[in-house]
Structure 1
Amino acid sequence: METQNLLVDIKDGVALLTINRPTVLNALHTSVIAELQKTFEALNADQAVKVIVMTGSGEKAFVAGADIAEMAVMNSQQAHEFARTGQKLVNFIGTMPKPAIAAVNGFALGGGMELALACDFIYASENAKMGLPEVTLGIMPGFGGSQKFGRLLGRSRANELIFTGKMLSAVEAKEWGIVNAVFPAGELVAKALETAGRIAGNGLLGVAHAKEAVRRGLDMAEADGMDYESVLFASLFASRDQKEGMQAFVEKRKANFTGS
């Protein structure tokens, strides 16, 4: 599966999606966002895919941001439509049942940072730089960055990063809780694929329900989140995967999950 600006390689249940515009640091033009939307929808519907790893082409950038040349000539109505298009993409990534890992291999700024935050967690290379520098252009985050950072970091830290437009190094991003792990550039994608492979070997329904429980639970009171978790937990006991997983454990063999 390939498009004009994306490369997709699927192996052993893991899809590696590469944004392939290295000459412009993989910037998010409207056409790229549309391709990403279509591709994520296709991968989510593909039964052969259990986990998605997203990275950028080249050694400099994951996604350096939205395409400033395109944004520079937008009026307010066009900017609103652009923001909603980007938000639709990040919302789909965050709410689809299949997990997504961002392998940030360089600059992840503005829309690139927001795209990485849409994934379920982030691995970064040692040379990665991250942030939401929109205020340095006279605007603000538009693809959900203010909401994602606010929930992830808390108000004060989110405000500091957004108001200053500061870029964080990979190590700083890990210290702030934005990044799960930092690897040498040459090892990043392999490490992300290794983790994705481990996830792909688990029950897909269980992973999907766990993703939903964490996502929805963050917007609930803890007691309500516990109730919701118990409902999702119980629903899995009507699945074939639950029967297979527990029988495999008893029989001391590897489970053969089917996602049903």
Structure 2
Amino acid sequence: MSYENILLNKEDKVSIITINRPESLNALNAQTIREISSALDELNSDASCRVIILTGSGEKSFVAGADIKEFSDFGQEKAEELARNGQNTLFNKIENMTKPVIAAVNGFALGGGLELAMACHIRYASENAKLGLPEVTLGLIPGYGGTQRLPKLVGKGIANEIIFSAKMIPAQRAKEIGLVNEVYPIEELLTKTRELANVIAHNSPMAISKAIQAVNLSDTEKGFETEIKYFGELFDLDDKKEGVSAFLEKRKPNF
């Protein structure tokens, strides 16, 4: 499939989706959301793809936010539809992918951009990255999961500070509070992200898929029971048999 606002690059077991709207600092509009969603569907059904990296073009911006021009004249009904469709089409889809999605945050990640990064399973950032949720300066609140995912990552107090103040958080501070996993110089960001992706790509894809689902339920009553269920299910699958055999034979597994 061809795309206008994103680039899709498949490299062995790792695929990279690059949001490519540099003229608008990679802002999310409806078409870009649909294209990322379609690319994720394509990669989720591609057995050769084990890990997905999501990043922005250039060195200034991951995603500078949503394209405000698209919804500036919306009323309540259309605004609720916008938020619901966006969450179902893209943000929740990322969180519930069967393959890990790593955000390589290469600059501004504001509003919908930070929400996009938070929907990913892992976040690496460049030293020049700035992260924040500025919606209250527009008389709004985050609508793509920001009020729900941020407290889970950094705690309610810090999440409230970030949301209420609308201030931008520098990359190093984002690491300190657990909003991003690691921070690297901009020229090393994608290399370091690929290194992590390659490590993950050589582990059991079935086990990782089950782990994603279990971790996503870690703050619910179903969490422990889901872990037990998936732990048991994996014992009957080929990946477990290969992994245990490789361990006993002192070789690397071939998943």
What TM-score range do you get, normalising by the shorter chain?
over 0.9
- Aligned counterparts, 1:42-61, within 5 A: 42-61=42-61
Q: Partner residue of 1:6?
A: 6
Q: Partner residue of 2:235?
A: 237
Whole-Å separation in 2 of the counterparts to 1:219 and 1:158: 20
Structure 1 counterpart of 2:121, which letter? D
Structure 2 counterpart of 1:59, which letter? E
Say which SS state the counterpart of residue 124 (structure 1) adopts. Answer: strand
Say which SS state the counterpart of residue 238 (structure 1) adopts. Answer: coil
Offset from partner CA, 1:125-147 (integer Å, 9 cap, x none):
00000010001111110000001
Whole-Å separation in 1 of the counterparts to 2:85 and 2:161: 26
Whole-Å separation in 2 of the counterparts to 1:2 and 1:56: 18
Q: Partner residue of 1:156?
A: 157
Deviation, 1:251, is 1.8
Deviation, 1:77, is 2.1
Contact 1:111 1:143 in 2 (8 A): yes
Say which SS state the counterpart of residue 8 (structure 2) adopts. Answer: strand
Whole-Å separation in 2 of the counterparts to 1:96 and 1:26: 23
Query: Does 87-96 or 148-157 show the bigger shift?
Result: 148-157
Contact 2:17 2:36 in 1 (8 A): no
State the identity %.
51
Q: Partner residue of 2:29?
A: 29
Q: Partner residue of 1:68?
A: 68
Query: Does 74-83 or 204-213 show the bigger shift?
Result: 74-83
- For residue 228 of structure 1, the aligned residue among 226, 229, 234 is 226
Structure 2 unmatched runs, 5+: none
Say which SS state the counterpart of residue 39 (structure 2) adopts. Answer: helix
TM-score, normalising length: structure 2: 0.96
Contact 1:61 1:108 in 2 (8 A): yes
Whole-Å separation in 2 of the counterparts to 1:177 and 1:188: 18
Structure 2 counterpart of 1:236, which letter? L
Offset from partner CA, 1:92-140 (integer Å, 9 cap, x none):
1001111100000000000000000000010000000001000111111
Whole-Å separation in 1 of the counterparts to 2:104 and 2:232: 33
Q: Partner residue of 2:219?
A: 218
- Aligned counterparts, 1:117-196, within 5 A: 117-196=118-197
Offset from partner CA, 1:224-246 (integer Å, 9 cap, x none):
53332121111101111111111
Say which SS state the counterpart of residue 93 (structure 2) adopts. Answer: helix
Deviation, 1:2, is 4.2
Structure 1 unmatched runs, 5+: none
Structure 2 counterpart of 1:42, which letter? E
Structure 2 counterpart of 1:254, which letter? K
Whole-Å separation in 2 of the counterparts to 1:44 and 1:218: 25
Structure 1 counterpart of 2:64, which letter? A
Deviation, 1:27, is 0.4
Structure 2 counterpart of 1:165, which letter? A
Offset from partner CA, 1:35-67 (integer Å, 9 cap, x none):
111111111111111110000001110000000
Deviation, 1:73, is 2.4
Contact 1:60 1:105 in 2 (8 A): yes
- What RMSD in Å do the two structures reach over aligned CA positions? 1.2
Q: Partner residue of 1:81?
A: 81
Deviation, 1:254, is 2.0
Deviation, 1:85, is 1.9
Whole-Å separation in 2 of the counterparts to 1:218 and 1:10: 34
